[in-house]
Amino acid sequence: MNTVDNINFAGKRALIRVDFNLPLDKQTLSITDDSRMSATIPTINKILADGGSCVLMSHLGRPKEGREDKYSLVHVVGHLAELTKTMVHFAQDCIGEDAVRLANNLKPGEILLLENLRFYNEEEKGDIAFSEKLSKLGDVYVNDAFGTAHRAHASTAVIAEFFPNDRCFGYVMAAEVANADKIMKDTQRPFTAITGGAKVSDKLLIIENLINVADNIIIGGGMAYTFMKAQGGQIGNSLCEDDRLELTLQLIEKARAKGVQLLLPVDSVCADSFSNEANNQTLPSNQIPAGWMGLDIGPEATAAYKKVILESKTILWNGPMGVFEMSKFENGTKQVAEAVAEATANGAFSLIGGGDSAAAVHKFGYEEKVSYVSTGGGALLEYFEGKRLPGIAAIMG
Ligand code: AMP
């Protein structure tokens, strides 16, 4: 694997695709979790220590049409300067004269952060002319954004064509691939995959693929209720994707046929509104009356999940077990995090898929007690599907 370690960056401008798609507080726009930024600091430091300079590009959020201030990367400049202890220049546009001038004037040891790539829809379209404009801003292309490696966007894949001999992975990418491979290629059994979160549609394909490799699949979070309803359960006002009912039944059947244990939450902590102040009660997950919704796995489900996790030697976790952001519905996620940490202490290899599961592990203080916390949710799971990720393929050539 060609990484920054194979290149001497002295006098060179590294154009680095980073993942600064950080969660920001809606009101203050301050960073609420800097994991993806701090993960990439070693890559930046290596380049600066060589005597190179860094031009950083990223997306932030999902701007719809053009510029939107709440998605400006200017909000993360100060924190980047703190983490790198370096002055950070900011280009108010990711392409154009100003960006070119700032990139050309960059001195060794300096950093330039470009404005949000997704202010141009050419980014997600993988537009070649846009990629070429970006490519003018650096001498070597470095991809360290695992979180977007599954997208064939301009800055994550297409741009690599303009650096046929000068492209490599950053340390985040290298570590992500090495850790994912540990699960895929060096699987110690039993292998338990834990999936949760809000939307089943995002995870159906992944679950389908995990059925081919895992021994146990634990399902929690809002997505569990589509499974419940598909089996004839009453789920009240819980989250449900009615157009996926048939597919969830097929998954249950496929797991059965393959001898994979698919665990659904027997009980749920239910609330009469989506609020931490709501009334709540524990109910069987398939007997939730109208007006009530399941917002966390219940105590029985939690105990069953913990038992399976503690017996596992390989654990992959993506997606919270409930609305862990609210204290009344955090218990399932917290207990699962604790069990993953305990299994890890007993010798299991545990990989936490990015996004909300990473935020949960961080919130409950188990970050240092699991084997690896990935910076990429979707990318990691697509890697587990056996897909060749465009961001990886583009560097490999
Ligand atoms: P995802 O992005 O699909 O992984 O979903 C993560 C989000 O799912 C988190 O913000 C959780 O609050 C939310 N979530 C988890 N369980 C539930 C649930 N039972 N009902 C509603 N939202 C949930």
Q: Which residue has the tokens 């952001």?
A: 325
Angle subtended by helix axes 35-50 and 74-84, to nearest 10: 60
Report DSSP letters for 291-336, one per residue. Answer: T-EEEEE-HHHHHHHHHHHHT-SEEEEES-SS-TTSGGG-HHHHHH
Confidence of residue 224 (pLDDT cuts 50, 70, 90): very high
Instruction: Give the right CATH number for 187-384 from 3.40.50.300, 2.102.10.10, 3.40.50.11540, 3.40.50.1260.
Output: 3.40.50.1260
When pLDDT is cut at 50, 70 and 90, the band that residue 307 belongs to is: very high
Residue of the nearest CA to atom 11 in ligand 1? 323
Q: Is 236 a catalytic residue?
A: no
* One CATH from 3.40.50.1000, 3.30.43.10, 3.90.226.10, 3.40.50.1260 for 4-172: 3.40.50.1260
Å from CA of 364 to ligand 1 middle: 17
pLDDT reported for residue 202: 80
Question: Residue for token digits 């280009």?
Answer: 91
Residue 203: per-residue pLDDT: 87
CA dihedral (73, 75, 80, 83) in degrees, to 10, reads -150
Evaluate if residue 347 carries a pLDDT over 90: yes
- pLDDT band per the 50, 70, 90 thresholds, residue 205: confident
* Residue 378 among the catalytic residues: yes
Nearest one of 282, 349, 318 to 336, comparing CA atoms: 318
Count CB-CB contacts under 10 A for residue 289.
12
* Mean pLDDT value of segment 378-397: 88
Answer yes or no: is the C-beta of 265 below 6 A from any ligand 1 atom.
no
Strands 267-271 and 314-318: unpaired
Locate the domains of the chain by residue range: 4-172, 187-384
- The average confidence (pLDDT) of the chain is 95
For atom 1 of ligand 1, the residue with the nearest CA is 197
User: Which atom of ligand 1 is found nearest the CA of 221?
Assistant: 16
Locate the ligand 1 atom nearest the alpha carbon of residue 225 and give its number. 19
Question: What does DSSP assign to residue 378?
Answer: H
Q: For residue 270, give both structure tokens.
A: 């239910």
Question: So what's the pLDDT on residue 355?
Answer: 73
State the pLDDT confidence band at 231, using cuts at 50, 70 and 90: very high
Q: What is the DSSP string of 3-16?
A: BGGG---TT-EEEE
User: 96: CA distance to ligand 1 center in Å?
Assistant: 39
Whether the CB of 323 sits within 6 Å of ligand 1:
yes
- From 199, 254, 369, 387, active-site residue: 199
| Per-residue confidence (pLDDT) for residue 11, from 0 to 100 | 98
